[in-house]
Structure 1
Amino acid sequence: MIDKRLRVVLAEDSVILRDGMVELLGARGCEVVATAGTAPELLAAVAEHRPDVAVVDIRMPPTHTDEGIRAAVEIRATEPGTGILVFSQHVETAWASRLLAGGAAGTGYLLKERVARTSEFMDALHRVADGGTALDPEVVTRLMRGGRRSRVDTLTPREHTVLELMAQGHSNRSIAASLVVSERAVEKHVAAVFTKFDLPATDTDNRRVKAVLTYLAEQGR
């Protein structure tokens, strides 16, 4: 049905998922010209190979917050001939709005858990490469809500749980024990909360307190 052989750059920091997608795309007639595990690798690969489309995850090293979609916005500005298909578990409305600011042509945004069939993903990939648009309805709904979403609403379920435990006075070590995860994992979630709440590090770093105060204020407590 679709005979165009697409040249694809794939940005995904999970090695297992990345390898699986390379096999899938190859079996469906695409040529994966490069893969990337970080945003700088993605930018370099697109600049070198000029693919038809770049498939981009939002959260990539080192902070696992929004490096991927930041790179996607940069690619839209520097390589307008390359389609962008964001493929993620998360909706980042602010960066999605910037990604679409110059027009939706050649842009897609799909949520991993809502793609039920491989054919849906491949159809979206080809549509974006051909200059069309492929937006998950949930992404559209979030964008339409725009600024009415609170900062707490931008958190993932796990980030929300971590912030709630912070508000209860738990340390990172205590949170790790409660959630049965590593302390390093908790640190990543806390860093993501700081980023989404726009709380940069300062000399008198009290971001933890400010994050909790923001949480309590927006929860109406």
Structure 2
Amino acid sequence: MRVMLADDAVLFREGMARVLTDVGFTVTGQAGDGAALLGLVRADPPDVAVIDLRMPPGFSAEGIDTAAAIRATVPGIGLMLLSQYVEVHHALRLMTEFDGGVGYLLKDRVSDLVAFGTDVRKVAGGATVIDPELVARLVARRRELDPLDKLTDRERAVLALMAQGLSNAAVAADLYLAIKTVEAHVTSIFSKLGLVQHDREHRRVLAVLTFLRA
């Protein structure tokens, strides 16, 4: 399996090349920044590219931007991002903007040669590989940010029908509930979502928007 590498730290890049060679890969190119890697990929596409997340010139998100450019140019290439940092927003971008064949590992994982080689092969084969620590952060973030977790199952059902444009009377008929019961559920939904008393219909719209975003 053919692999290309991009990392501005020469010693780390050379060490990674040695690691991948030892576990059966053929390293066909190395680069110190995203632009150089993109040129190598376009000239001779590998099976997978292993890319540092933070590279020159800005040391912010150059790696994932390069990955996006590679995916747009050669869709079949696997893309493995490496980072020293747990950056949940980048992991979310990989999972939502890329259609498989991507990975995000912390550089500490590279010390486990067999596991690292296995993960790179999985990405080359179209799988998504996310570091366990990042997965834990993603789950925690969802729990922190999802306001619908506060709702009961019945309240979720009421809100789902509200999102379809149903009035309280129509929701009551659909769920075989009394209208007053539905009104009580709606009031509870507003309270749990932090929608303060203002304009009842305005709060209804905000509640539906919260449901759709979640």
TM bucket by the smaller chain? 0.5 to 0.7
Kindly indicate whether residue 69 of structure 2 is the aligned counterpart of residue 78 of structure 1. Answer: no
- Which letter does structure 2 place at the counterpart of 1:108? G
Q: 2:198: which partner in 1?
A: none
Kindly indicate whether residue 85 of structure 2 is the aligned counterpart of residue 90 of structure 1. Answer: yes
3-state SS of paired residue (1:29): coil
Deviations 1:174-204, CA, capped at 9 Å, x for gaps: xxxxxxxxxxxxxxxxxxxxxxxxxxxxxxx
Q: 1:10 to 1:116 in 2, by over 3 A?
A: closer
Equivalences for residues 8-47 of structure 1 within 5 A:
8-47=3-42
Q: 2:108: which partner in 1?
A: 113
Q: TM-score normalised to the size of structure 2? A: 0.61
Deviations 1:150-180, CA, capped at 9 Å, x for gaps: xxxxxxxxxxxxxxxxxxxxxxxxxxxxxxx
Q: Do the aligned residues in 1 keep the contact of 2:5 with 2:50 (CA within 8 Å)?
A: yes
3-state SS of paired residue (1:101): helix
Q: 2:169: which partner in 1?
A: none
- Which letter does structure 1 place at the counterpart of 2:7? E
Q: 1:68: which partner in 2?
A: 63
CA-CA distance at 1:123 after TM superposition: 0.5
State the Cα RMSD in Å.
2.1
Larger Rg: 2
Deviations 1:72-112, CA, capped at 9 Å, x for gaps: 12222332100011111123333332222245521111111
Kindly indicate whether residue 128 of structure 2 is the aligned counterpart of residue 133 of structure 1. Answer: yes
Q: Distance in 2 between matches of 1:36 and 1:116?
A: 21
CA-CA distance at 1:36 after TM superposition: 0.8
Q: Distance in 2 between matches of 1:106 and 1:38?
A: 21
Q: Distance in 2 between matches of 1:137 and 1:81?
A: 25
Q: Do the aligned residues in 2 keep the contact of 1:13 with 1:37 (CA within 8 Å)?
A: yes
Q: 1:127 to 1:147 in 2, by over 3 A?
A: same
Q: 1:119 to 1:42 in 2, by over 3 A?
A: same
Q: Distance in 1 between matches of 2:109 and 2:21?
A: 22
* Structure 2 unmatched runs, 5+: 146-214
Q: Do the aligned residues in 1 keep the contact of 2:105 with 2:130 (CA within 8 Å)?
A: yes
Greater share of helix? 2
Moved more, 9-18 or 115-124: 115-124
Q: Do the aligned residues in 2 keep the contact of 1:73 with 1:99 (CA within 8 Å)?
A: no
Deviations 1:58-81, CA, capped at 9 Å, x for gaps: 110122121112111222233210
Q: TM-score normalised to the size of structure 1? A: 0.59
CA-CA distance at 1:147 after TM superposition: 10
Q: Distance in 2 between matches of 1:142 and 1:114?
A: 17
Deviations 1:133-158, CA, capped at 9 Å, x for gaps: 21112222333416968xxxxxxxxx
Q: Do the aligned residues in 2 keep the contact of 1:8 with 1:53 (CA within 8 Å)?
A: yes
Aligned length: 144
3-state SS of paired residue (2:55): coil
Moved more, 14-23 or 107-116: 107-116
Q: Distance in 1 between matches of 2:107 and 2:17?
A: 16
Q: Do the aligned residues in 2 keep the contact of 1:12 with 1:56 (CA within 8 Å)?
A: yes
Q: Distance in 2 between matches of 1:112 and 1:22?
A: 14
CA-CA distance at 1:27 after TM superposition: 2.3
* Structure 1 unmatched runs, 5+: 1-5, 150-221
CA-CA distance at 1:12 after TM superposition: 1.0
